[in-house]
Structure 1
Amino acid sequence: MVQAAPAPQHADGPALAQELASAGTEDRILTVPNLVTAVRLACVPLFVWLLFGAHQQSAAAGLLAGLGATDWVDGTVARHFHQVSTLGKVLDPTADRLLVATAVLCTVIVGAVPPWFAALTVAREALVSGAVLLLAALGAKRIDVLFIGKAGTFALMAAYPAFLLAHGSATWQGDLRSAAWVIGLGGLCLAWVAAGRYLPEARAALVAGRAGRAAR
């Protein structure tokens, strides 16, 4: 008697549904997290106008703080609702870099932070961004953003609005400036530590990318 071939094994329902949902949104553009990131990016010119056009330093600092505080929203929504997309993986860190660069430049222009602190912040962002572009040109596999890097960016995005709001001669501004230094220096340290942590990740991504091309 010929025995029937065993039925193919499938993943359980929830796991399979999650996998299919993730695969279906990977190449999508119109997703909720991408919309959140786009709104955050659109607020960057508004921040610049509030600071230099309307001369509303407090309002500009508040908006910048809000943009920094919502940094986690797009990534959390993407993972929770299985809307992780290729565009989002590029757009989210790009938005982080642009927000940090804008915050640094504008805060230095108004004299709220010393140039050396701003230079260290920008140098780290330029180093990471340049490395990402170089790895992409070399065909490396994409590197996921490290939590420590996100934490450093979040701290810096909290420190710069505080520096901006503390730029004045009132007593409470002096206290706020001290708090901004604690947060800012901590965030800067985390950001540079994360840059070092990316080195082994970059080597592994380059090897994986080359292996993938060889297999094809």
Structure 2
Amino acid sequence: MTSSNGPSAEATASGRPDFVGRDDLPDRIWTVPNALSVLRLLGVPLFLWLLLGPEADGWAVIVLMISGITDWADGKLARWLDQSSRLGALLDPAADRLYIVCTLVALALRDIAPVWLVALLVGRELVLGVMLLVLRHHGYPPLQVHYLGKAATFLLLYAFPGLLLADGSGWLATAIEPFAWAFTIWGTALYLLAGILYVVQVLGIVRAERAASTVGPVR
């Protein structure tokens, strides 16, 4: 949500790589983007109940579509209204990942999503969880969400409703199936690529940290 104009003097002197982390953002709670992120989080149990309880796929699709719209809107509004915040930087990716993991599990239980897709995307989340622990160990906050990750999330949040509709019968299911799988494959590819870039960033930070500690402070 924010950007840096270059390395700060403090970061350069210390040898630590400079980036804008969550702790650099304003400590605000009552903002429009945060309200949208909370709304998305509240939609997760509703979506799961609709999909696994009464199997009301139509309503479940509507919940997912609303989630995708609010995912796009909260980032735009944060920039337009200058309402970026620490809480928003935490809630936004948390809601994205929770929706994707919960949706995958639900679709797998309904035999709509294949096991390989679930394994790839859930495995990606586990790897990123390890990277967050590495960052925490070295005293860094989570990195900013990459634009590829946001694009992949947007694709997947529209691919999943397509998979639900394609699981039905009739002309709509037949027509939407190739588009649903195209969104799923492209979204998965971008999601994995964003995860790889995140790992590369974390490893780069760790290498820079080790190099700085080996060289020692510049006198």
Under TM normalisation by the shorter chain, which class is it? 0.7 to 0.9
**Identity across aligned pairs (percent)?**
36
- 1:159-201 deviations in Å (ceiling 9; x for gaps): 1111012112323212212111111101111111111212332
Q: In the aligned structure 2, how far is the partner of 1:202 from the partner of 1:171?
A: 47
Whichever residue aligns with residue 48 of structure 1, its letter is L
Q: In the aligned structure 2, how far is the partner of 1:135 from the partner of 1:25?
A: 18
Whichever residue aligns with residue 80 of structure 1, its letter is W
Q: Structure 2 regions of 5+ residues with no counterpart?
A: 1-22
Corresponding residue number in structure 1 for 2:172: 172
Q: In the aligned structure 1, how far is the partner of 2:63 from the partner of 2:133?
A: 30
> What displacement does 1:126 show?
2.3
1:141, 1:205 within 8 Å by CA — same for their partners in 2?
no
- The alignment covers a number of residue pairs equal to 191
Corresponding residue number in structure 2 for 1:12: none
Q: In the aligned structure 2, how far is the partner of 1:203 from the partner of 1:24?
A: 21
2:155 is the alignment partner of 1:147: no
1:205 to 1:31, Cα distance in 2 relative to 1, 3 A: farther
State TM-score, norm by structure 1: 0.79
Corresponding residue number in structure 2 for 1:114: 114
Whichever residue aligns with residue 174 of structure 2, its letter is G
Q: In the aligned structure 2, how far is the partner of 1:26 from the partner of 1:58?
A: 39
- 1:69-125 deviations in Å (ceiling 9; x for gaps): 321211211122111111111111111110101111111111111111121121112
2:74 is the alignment partner of 1:35: no
- 1:115-165 deviations in Å (ceiling 9; x for gaps): 111211211122223312331233125411111111111111111111012
Aligned ranges for residues 3-82 of structure 1 at < 5 Å?
26-82=26-82
Q: Supply the RMSD in Å over aligned alpha carbons.
A: 2.5
1:138 to 1:129, Cα distance in 2 relative to 1, 3 A: same
State TM-score, norm by structure 2: 0.78
